Amino acid sequence: MISDILKTVIHPEQDKDIVSLGMVQNFTEQDGKIRFTLQLTKAHDPMAQSIKRSAEAAIIEATGIAPTIIIAEPNVRKRLPNVPKPPKLPLQKTIAIASGKGGVGKSTVTANLAVALARLGYRVGVIDADIYGPSMPKMFGVEGYMPVTEDENSQEIIPAQSHGVKVMSIGFFIKAEDALVWRGPMATNALKQLINQTAWGELDYLLIDLPPGTGDVHLTAVGALKIDGAIVVSTPGKVALLDVVRGIGMLRSKNVNIPIIGIINNMAYFTPAELPDNKYYIFGRGELEKVAQEMRVEVLAEIPLVQSIAENGDSGKPLADGITEDVFMGLAKKISADGNENTF
């Protein structure tokens, strides 16, 4: 009976139930108590806590009994001390995703673009550099991930993996309800650790989700990494466009000096689900294009305003909507070698 209940619990990434995957082991049911081991199929599975909660909920709903579930890591042979680690290849491209102001969808763009690049076959990593408002754990559905080091002799932290993307965020080290009250040096030191102590391995693209505005964190990211280019995210509103000009000015300043790949016009138009070919520019049209022309940068894409983008971000499923999927896949091809024009 319990086996049938647990067959309803599906591993989100492997799309199979945990019984078929052999994850349910050492099962006992005695004196009204249920106990078993949840044997992970891969080390540091970011979905472990989510699967455990789903299994607990399924058993409680069916039997009224709260089970005891022990999570067990797979048996992996430790690296022999005399065998050196394989050298890490340098990153091919590091892209900063920036915005002049908050609330324009910068993090949403970062997550969806990362998944789009991964679907093209690239090895992609994301650094959540928004120290005071980390959102990548939620957007990638890895809020329960607990970072660990590669082994007892290593200082490098293993990033979470979701949707084919490696993710590192300060959000993994704090509770969601905790507010970070850090001075500038504390925030920049935390960012340096995320950058320098993460075991990224071989990557083709590393996307950095910068905090909104300009400040110490931006300068730290520039100093710690060779950033090949920046994408600026904006909405059509006039206030947002004023901040775009400031943001581009910061990126082009002598102390930063990062090439601008282009601007993304987020929430550019509204498209009803029942009328996918219709575009309603409810926030106005043409102003961002004028700013882009004056600043001598390209408008890379127009992202529609659709409810599913927010819903998918809240549920940890980026690039799950047909309309936005086409836009972001086109954007990924445009800025990568898969496109007819490689913009940087």
| Helix (H) or strand (E) segment spanning residue 229 | strand 229-234
316 is in an annotated binding site: no
Residue 139 token pair: 């957007």
- From CA 274, how far away is CA 338, in angstroms rounded? 32
Confirm whether residue 102 is marked as ligand binding.
Answer: yes
Token pair in block for residue 325: 């999927």
CB 116, CB 136: distance < 8 Å: no
What 3-state DSSP class applies to 296? coil
The C-alpha torsion from 168 through 173 and 176 to 178, rounded to 10°, is -140
| Residue 103 marked ligand-binding | yes
Is 133 part of any known ligand binding site? no
In three-state secondary structure terms, 207 is strand
Beta strands in 271-320 (DSSP E): 299-305
| Closest to 202 (Cα-Cα) out of 91, 336, 324, 289 | 91
Is 162 annotated as a binding-site member?
no
Q: Is 100 annotated as a binding residue?
A: yes
d(CA 169, CA 137): 7
Q: Produce one character per residue of 159-169: b if its CB has 16 or more CB atoms within 10 Å, e if not.
A: bbbbbebbbbb
Q: According to the annotation, is 306 in a ligand binding site? A: no
253 is in an annotated binding site: no
Strand partners, 207: 95, 126
Point out the annotated binding site: 100-107
Point out the annotated binding site for ATP: 100-107
